[in-house]
Amino acid sequence: MKLQGQAKMLRLHFGEDDKWEGRPLYEAIVEKCRQLDIAGATVFRGIEGYGASALIRRSHALRFSADSPILVQVIDTEEQIQKLLPVLDSMVSEGLIAMSDVEVIKYTHQKDEPAK
């Protein structure tokens, strides 16, 4: 598969403690993206942030449990992103999902590549 040109990027913002069916929400989202053959998804852990609740979420190096801000970034064609949106609507109960247009310069993927 080769993806170049216009695409869509989703950015999902929520807390690290958010869950989906008992597991971390970010893990469930990445797995669902893979099941739907989405081009790519990456999870970022933030240092600090807040959203609609105005509750400031902070990452604490000395704590084992902190509700750090999480950003999941997903990029694919508009058609593929449209398939994902209803699924995300049911999974993300609190947070922000933003979509923007992007231009993909280069993305190549070979199905037969061994997993690393």
Percent share of the chain, pLDDT over 90: 59
Structure-block tokens of residue 101? 């247009």
The pLDDT confidence band at residue 50, using thresholds 50, 70 and 90, is confident
Domain membership of residue 100 (yes or no) is yes
Domain membership of residue 97 (yes or no) is yes
At residue 109, what are phi and psi to the nearest 5 degrees?
-150, 130
CATH code: domain of residue 23: 3.30.70.120
Q: What is the pLDDT of residues 61-116, one digit of tens each?
A: 555 556 789 999 999 999 999 999 999 999 999 899 999 999 988 766 666 555 55
Domain membership of residue 41 (yes or no) is yes
Count how many domains the chain has: 1
Rounded distance, CA 51 to CA 17, Å? 15
Domain region containing 21: 5-104
